[in-house]
Amino acid sequence: FFNFRNSSVKPDANSLLDEICDTIKQTVIVDNINFVVDVLLFKADLPARALATKHVNHNGYYACLECDQKGVWYEEGRTVIYPYIPHRMNRRSSSHFDFCAEQVNQQLSCDNYYGIKGVSPLRKIMDIPNQIDIDIMHLCFIGHCNFLLCKWEKMIVKQSWLSVNDNNDDTQRPLSQEYSHQSYHDLQPVPLSVISQSTIDTNSRKLMFPHVSSTMYDSGNLPNLSF
């Protein structure tokens, strides 16, 4: 849905989602046919997810929806970071969210309790956090994948890129002319830290490079993916 709001402050989750969630809970009648709407997942970028779930923003303490790690202040970067901890953190559950929200509602916590600011309207129609999906576009494709592709591009000579488009239409597609006797899946990865442009051996059969080209693939040979 689209909504326009003229205000100096953004609306809260209740004004945005209360009516929608109440409507979804009811039976929708269209042309005398009853429809029961079941919401499976909620997906949004991190600021929108924080607003909808009544959770602190991703740059605050207790920002993770999956566990109760607090995070630590990083003075040099002026932000909260979440360093690796060898022992397991406590996993959040829907009952944990409900308990924390109740602490805030009873004013036992002035702002938030373990990062939770209150009861989200989404709680009426779904399980938080189990039905809150990750934002793969921002968390993976724009960030990590972009970084890896930029690194990989510097590892490959121009001739290797161009030769990929010269492959034939066989099911077993070679990575390039330099690797014509070995399929892509047989190549072994090499850590980025030990490879530089000056040390690449274009005849090596042990490097794993991305297969990026304009050629078409047989969809029947692709793995099944679920989102």
205-to-142, 154, 160, 175 alpha-carbon distances in Å: 30, 18, 13, 10
Shared domain check, 102 and 23: yes
Comparison of pLDDT for 223 and 102, the residue scoring more: 102
Write the CB contacts of 28 (distance below 8 Å, at least 6 apart in sequence). 34, 35, 36, 37
Which residues fall within 8 angstroms of residue 125, CB to CB, at 6 or more apart? 21, 24, 25, 39
Task: Determine contact, residues 92/57, Cβ cutoff 8 Å.
Answer: no
| Closest to 122 in 3D by CA, of 103, 91, 92, 94 | 94
In this predicted structure, the answer to whether residue 78 has a pLDDT above a threshold of 60 is: yes
How far the first Cα of the chain sits from its last, in Å, is: 22
Mean of the pLDDT values across residues 50-67?
A: 93
Q: Do 33 and 97 reside in the same domain of the chain? A: yes
Do 114 and 175 lie in one domain? The reply is: no
Same domain, 119 and 212: no
Examine the domain organization and report whether 168 and 113 are in the same domain: no
Q: In this prediction, what percent of the chain has a pLDDT beyond 90?
A: 35
Res 166 pLDDT > 80: no
Q: Is the same domain home to 106 and 25?
A: yes
Query: What is d(CA 187, CA 207) in angstroms, rounded to the nearest whole number?
Result: 6
- Spatial distance between the Cα atoms of 211 and 183, rounded to a whole number of angstroms: 11
**72: part of which helix (H) or strand (E)?**
strand 72-74
Q: What is the largest CA-CA distance in the chain?
A: 71
Same domain, 115 and 183: no
In a domain, residue 227? The reply is no
Phi first, then psi, for residue 111 (nearest 5°) are -120, -55
Same-domain pairing of 93 and 185? no
Q: Mean pLDDT check: name the lowest of 61-75, 79-93, 143-157.
A: 143-157
Number of domains comprising the chain: 2
Domain residues for the domain of 100 are 13-134
Which DSSP category does 68 fall into?
-
Pick 43 or 166 by higher pLDDT: 43
- What integer pLDDT is reported at residue 138 of this predicted model? 78
User: What is the pTM (predicted TM-score) of this model?
Assistant: 0.60
Q: Could you tell me if 32 and 105 lie in one domain?
A: yes
Instruction: Look at residue 63 and tell me if it is in a domain.
Output: yes
**Mean pLDDT for the chain overall:** 74
Residue 63 banded pLDDT, cuts 50, 70, 90: very high
Q: Is residue 165 part of a domain?
A: yes
Does the pLDDT of residue 164 top 90, yes or no? no
Residues 57 and 25 in one domain: yes
Residue 100 has pLDDT above 90, yes or no: yes
115 plus 25 within the same structural domain: yes
For residue 113, pLDDT over 70 is answered with: yes
**Within a domain: 91:** yes
Q: 195 and 104 share a domain?
A: no
Tell me the average pLDDT across 70-97.
91
Contacts of 117 (CB under 8 A, 6+ apart): 54, 55, 56, 101, 104, 111
